[in-house]
């Protein structure tokens, strides 16, 4: 268990220090801003869809380690994927981070994202971990304005 916790911390730290896809995508209309009031995390999410696939995805913003790592790993996990897989993956991710801490993690399809099972022990961090996903949904829906995790 402590080994798992260490791995979890290493992966999160790595993505916090060197966030992947941390940039803008100037030529896309699918942009949304997210704000987690509880923690102060802010994110701008960019996604470019081509042929029903995630052709490019990127983010910018400032937030805690969990929110930054979650956004970074989300962009890594989704780049190149069929659009149809985005929503089901979000559902799996959300179900995982909101499940009881003692419940076995169903990490099928989640891959590296399974490290976020660790936030189950810190319920206030769940919103940090899901902010990027909520913001992504808004970006895909072309919703304007700001998303909050409320």
Cβ proximity to Zn ion: between 86 and 128 the closer is 128
- Cα→Cα distances 95→55, 64, 117, 120, Å: 26, 22, 10, 10
CB of 89 to Zn ion, least distance (A): 21
CB of 67 to Zn ion, least distance (A): 4
Q: Mark residues 111-150: x for contact with Zn ion by CB under 5 A, - for none.
A: -----------------x----------------------
43 contacts Zn ion (rule: CB under 5 A): no
What's the DSSP call for residue 114? Answer: G
CB of 87 to Zn ion, least distance (A): 23
Task: Give the helix/strand (H/E) hosting 62.
Answer: strand 53-62
Cβ proximity to Zn ion: between 56 and 133 the closer is 133
Residue of 45, 67, 63 whose CA lies nearest to 130: 67
Residues numbered 54 to 73 that lie near Zn ion (CB under 5 A) are 64, 67
β-strands 31-36, 53-62 pairing: unpaired
């Amino acid at each position: 268990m402590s080994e798992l916790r260490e791995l979890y911390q290493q992966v999160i730290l790595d993505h916090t220090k060197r966030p992947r896809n941390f940039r803008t995508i100037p030529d896309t209309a699918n942009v949304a801003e997210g704000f987690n009031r509880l923690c102060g995390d802010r994110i701008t999410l960019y996604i470019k869809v081509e042929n029903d696939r995630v052709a490019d995805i990127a983010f910018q913003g400032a937030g805690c380690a969990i929110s930054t790592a979650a956004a970074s790993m989300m962009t890594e996990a989704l780049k190149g994927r069929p659009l149809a897989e985005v929503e089901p993956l979000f559902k799996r991710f959300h179900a995982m981070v909101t499940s009881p801490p003692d419940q076995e993690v169903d990490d099928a399809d989640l891959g590296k994202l399974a490290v976020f099972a660790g936030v189950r022990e810190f319920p206030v961090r769940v919103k940090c971990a899901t902010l990027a996903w909520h913001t992504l949904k808004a970006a895909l829906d072309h919703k304007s304005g700001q998303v909050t995790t409320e």
